[in-house]
Amino acid sequence: MTSDAYKIGVVLPFSGSEANSGVQCLNGAKMAVKEINESGGVLGGRHIELVVEDSETDPQRALERTRKLVAVDGVQAILGPLLSTSRDQMIGFLAEHRIPLLYGTDYEGGAYNRYLFCYSAIPEHYARPVVPHMIQHYGDAFYLLGSDYVWPRKTNEYVKDILVRKRATLSGEEYFPFGHEDFQGVIDRIADSGATVIFLDLVDSELRAFLRQCHTSGLKEKLRIVALAFNESTLASLGREEAEGILTCNHFFATLDCPEAREFVRRQQQMFGEDTWVSYYNVSHYGLVKFFGQAVKKAGTEDVEKIIDLMADQSLVVANGQVTLRGSDHHMILNILIAEVKDGCLTVVKAVDSLAPADQHVD
């Protein structure tokens, strides 16, 4: 084994409003690196090493950390970030330096670059199955609430298109800045709107604040809530009654009853402790590192262009069946799940196997 490590930089939030999510992402990546290294590493026995930087949930910090990882640490790829604004700033710099960006966060879709690879649920992945599900079971009047940035706004455009096609009602639509804490005003407006469904694409800290206040006000008992970006760590941060009945949609939940899901959760908890959160963030960042490791092994060289070519059209069985990283747009074909909080657990209520969104490669 050679002594020089093959370095992958990590730019994720370990402080700020998205710190919980950053930890989940890193845990997935660490397990993938461990498995690759234990199976012989890459390029003649070189171990992969993660060089980790905290973006502080701040786009400018994310770009600063990215520049440092490239100029000082000499990384071969970067894993991260979380926010779309950070991704858009980072990819221009990384493409210029021919460094792949491995992006594992659900986002608004439409981002394509030769150097960008997205293990990401996009609006078509979750809105296409969950909006009709909500209409069928809970009514056709929707109130949309999001954080005031590109992911919620773009996602809600897709949602509104579905509402029009289904002849459903848009009862209201509002957006809130990062750090917003007082939602009583909008709760009163929702109560007066006639809405039967609240559709949430709020980021983590605002999502938790809204759900707590919605429960306290009694509104949660009068309609149904579907919350994107709601995962195991969100659930753990809420009281049992605050979370009960909330629905969400994504490509993995830790309670999924299939062999590969149970095994993924077992390995994560063995590595990081029985109380660790295991969510789709762990899965996507694990999968990205595994995809990248496979490509490097196949390339047999550090030639980044050859590695990028070999990243395309790979498939893996990760934690919810086989998934595929498409070559055409560097986006994923994913197995999608709708889950509901029942008796304090995220319980899968509907599975949508192998959902392939429209090609995201926009010239």
Q: What is the pLDDT of residues 25-37, one digit of tens each?
A: 999 999 999 999 9
- Residue 25 and residue 17: Cα distance in Å, rounded? 15
Q: Residue 294 — very low, low, confident or very high, per pLDDT cuts 50/70/90? A: very high
Q: Give the domain-ending residue among 203, 228, 250.
A: 250
Single out the residue of 24, 13, 10 nearest to residue 281, CA to CA.
24
* Cis preceding linkage at 129, omega within 30: no
In a domain, 195, yes or no: yes
Is the domain of 112 the same as that of 91?
A: yes
Split at pLDDT 50, 70, 90, the class of 1 is: very low
pLDDT at 173: 98
pLDDT (mean) for 221-245: 94
Do 299 and 192 sit in the same domain of this protein?
no
Instruction: Select from 197, 226, 250 the last residue of a domain.
Output: 250
Higher pLDDT, 51 or 19: 51
Residue 79 belongs to some domain of the structure: yes
- What is the number of domains present in the chain? 2
pLDDT category at 156 given cuts 50, 70, 90 is: very high
Whether residue 243 lies inside any domain: the answer is: yes
Query: How many Cβ atoms are within 10 Å of 318's Cβ, its own excluded?
Result: 24
Q: Note whether residue 187 is domain-resident.
A: yes
What is the sign of the dihedral through the CA atoms of 170, 176, 180 and 185? negative
Q: 109 and 135 in one domain?
A: no
Rounded to two decimals, what is the model's pTM? 0.94
pLDDT digits (tens, 9 = 90+) for 35-50: 999 999 999 999 999 9
User: Can you list the positions of beta strands (E) in 258-362?
Assistant: 314-317, 322-325, 332-342, 345-355
pLDDT, position 20 = 87
Q: Is the pLDDT reported for residue 309 higher than 90?
A: yes
Quote the domain boundaries for residue 48: 6-121+257-330
76 and 151 in a single domain? The answer is no
Of 195, 218, 250, which residue sits at a domain end? 250
Please tell me which residue, 205 or 159, carries the higher pLDDT value: 159
Mention every residue, 6+ apart, whose C-beta is less than 8 A from residue 268: 27, 28, 31, 276, 278, 282
Question: Is 336 domain-assigned?
Answer: no
Task: Give the span between the Cα atoms of 247 and 61, in whole angstroms.
Answer: 33
> Which CATH number fits the domain that encloses residue 278?
3.40.50.2300
Q: State whether 190 and 114 are in the same domain.
A: no
Average pLDDT of the chain to the nearest whole number: 95
Mean pLDDT value of segment 241-247: 97
Residue 178 contacts residue 83 (beta carbons within 8 Å): no
Check residue 92 and give its pLDDT.
96
Are 135 and 64 in the same domain? no
User: Would you place residue 3 in the very low, low, confident or very high pLDDT band (cuts 50, 70, 90)?
Assistant: low
Confidence band of 51 (pLDDT split at 50, 70, 90): very high
User: Mean pLDDT over residues 75-100, rounded?
Assistant: 96
Residue identified by tokens 């909330």 is 246
Unique residue bearing structure tokens 């991260």: 80
Task: Say if residue 271 is in the same domain as residue 296.
Answer: yes
The reply to whether 222 and 277 lie within a common domain is: no
Determine the average pLDDT of the residues in 305-316. Answer: 96
> In the prediction, which pLDDT does 205 show?
86
Residue 65 has pLDDT above 70, yes or no: yes
Asked whether residue 351 is domain-assigned, the answer is no
Instruction: Write the single-letter amino acid at 193.
Output: S
Candidates 325, 332, 336, 330; CA nearest to 362 is: 330
Same domain membership, residue 151 and residue 233: yes
**Residues 6 or more apart whose Cβ sits within 8 Å of residue 258:** 320, 321
- Residue 285 falls inside a structural domain: yes
Residues 6+ apart with CB under 8 A from 122: 106, 107, 108, 109, 110, 331, 357, 360
CB 266 within 8 A of CB 8: no
Query: Rounded to an integer, what distance in angstroms lies between the CA atom of residue 51 and that of residue 286?
Result: 16
User: Do 104 and 25 touch, CB atoms closer than 8 A?
Assistant: yes
Q: Is there a single domain that holds both residue 207 and residue 263?
A: no
Tell me: do 195 and 266 sit in the same domain. no
- Residue range 9-22, pLDDT digits in tens: 999 999 988 888 99
Is residue 163 one of the residues assigned to a domain?
A: yes
pLDDT in tens, 278-291: 999 999 999 999 99
Residue 188 per-residue DSSP state = H
What local confidence, expressed as pLDDT, does residue 2 receive? Answer: 42
Q: Is 139 exposed, middle or buried (0-12, 13-18, 19+ CB in 10 A)?
A: middle
Looking only at the bridges linking them, the beta strands covering 101-103 and 116-118 are parallel
Half-sphere exposure of residue 57: CA atoms within 13 angstroms, side-chain side: 15
The pLDDT of residue 243 is above 60: yes
Same domain, 213 and 273: no
